[in-house]
A and B are shown apart, each in its own frame.
Chain A
Amino acid sequence: MSTINPPKEQSLIEYRVDRILEEANTDTRIVVLARQDGALDTFPIWVGSAEGNAIKLALDATITPRPMSHDLIKSFAEHLSVTIQRVVIADVKSSTYYATVYVANKGVERMIDARPSDAISLALRAHCPIYITQDVLTRRSTTNLDAWLAKLESKNIGTPEVQET
């Protein structure tokens, strides 16, 4: 299934969803992940508003009258006796993060590519851990800045001089 993350073991750090922020002026949300072990580190991921809302619903354990998309995926997993083992933010390319969802059934583990927002939404509903690879953590600092700049550019906020600072 997965082409992004080869099945080699990478060192993984566990994170939890700390909060969802609304970014002013843009139709995006920032999902703030924090270290599960309490170490001081936060990892922001920019997502669309619909994706952010899906995560917020799960974070607040809101019961919706009808199953939302990720509730449906969870429901499929239950019907197929598949357990969602863990989700891993496994790669970053051009400021875009890529995730892998690890699922298992009858002792066989499979990997499915996903966007981090879908992976996180599902992890919260399935109560499974969220990991970030050490590799992504090392490569993120500049990508964060790039993402900020890209967002600014897309909304034409500020002048080019400001964006370069």
Chain B
Amino acid sequence: MHIKGLMFDPYNNAYIVVLRDEEHSDMLPIWVGKSEAGAISMAMENVTPPRPMTHDFMKSFLDAYNAKVISVVITDLSEHTYFAKIHLMYEDSEYTVDARPSDAIALALRSNAPVFANDTVITKQSSEELEQWLENLKPEDFGKLDS
């Protein structure tokens, strides 16, 4: 999946990382917090901070041991929460580590590793997303429609 961009979601006061599968034009929005969005946007824009940020440190840690991020996978979605796995290669063995999608994506961008999403996540997302938007609608939002 391509990381298409970051959007601000005023309803949830959070940010949305938009992933897109170019082949099937599937979209996967992932809600993340402000600092997580910052970590992703710095990598997207290739900003080098004066001191290593958390994910730069994470990358240095893996680099110190020649551990490579092979890929990250958004694996599951339940109750509006996404889960991810990071696949690592270290000394000819592969390791799978549980992570939040925001950490996985921030690290993938710094490691030039591909981001994948399970099919089930994409299908589940389309129904859950609608629910989430409906839940977040406030009376004021309906008011706006009238005016």
Chain A residues with a Cβ under 8 A of chain B: 1, 48-51, 65-70, 72-73, 75-77, 79-80, 82, 96, 98, 101, 103, 105, 110, 112-115, 118
7 residue pairs from A and B, CB less than 8 Å apart: A1-B64, A50-B33, A75-B98, A76-B58, A79-B95, A112-B61, A113-B52
Bound-state CA distance A7–B53 (Å) is 23
| B30 smallest CB distance to A (angstroms) | 12
Which label, helix, strand, loop or mixed, suits the secondary structure of the B interface? mixed
* B58 proximity list for chain A (CB < 8 A): 69, 72-73, 76
Interface of A is mostly: mixed
Instruction: For the complex, give the distance between the alpha carbons of A41 and B9 in Å.
Output: 44
- Apart from A1-B60, A105-B65, 14 more pairs, CB < 8 Å: A48-B35, A65-B81, A67-B103, A73-B58, A75-B97, A75-B98, A76-B61, A82-B65, A96-B50, A98-B51, A112-B57, A112-B61, A112-B64, A115-B52
Residue of B nearest to A65 (CB): B81
Other-chain contact of A115, B35, B57, B61, B63 (Cβ < 8 Å) = B57
Given A115-B52, A118-B54: A67 and B61 interface contact (C-beta under 8 Å) = no
What residues of chain B lie closer than 8 Å to A69, measured between beta carbons?
A: 54-55, 58, 100, 103
Q: Bound state CA distance, A115 and B62, in angstroms? A: 17
Residues of chain A lying within 8 A (CB to CB) of residue B33: 50
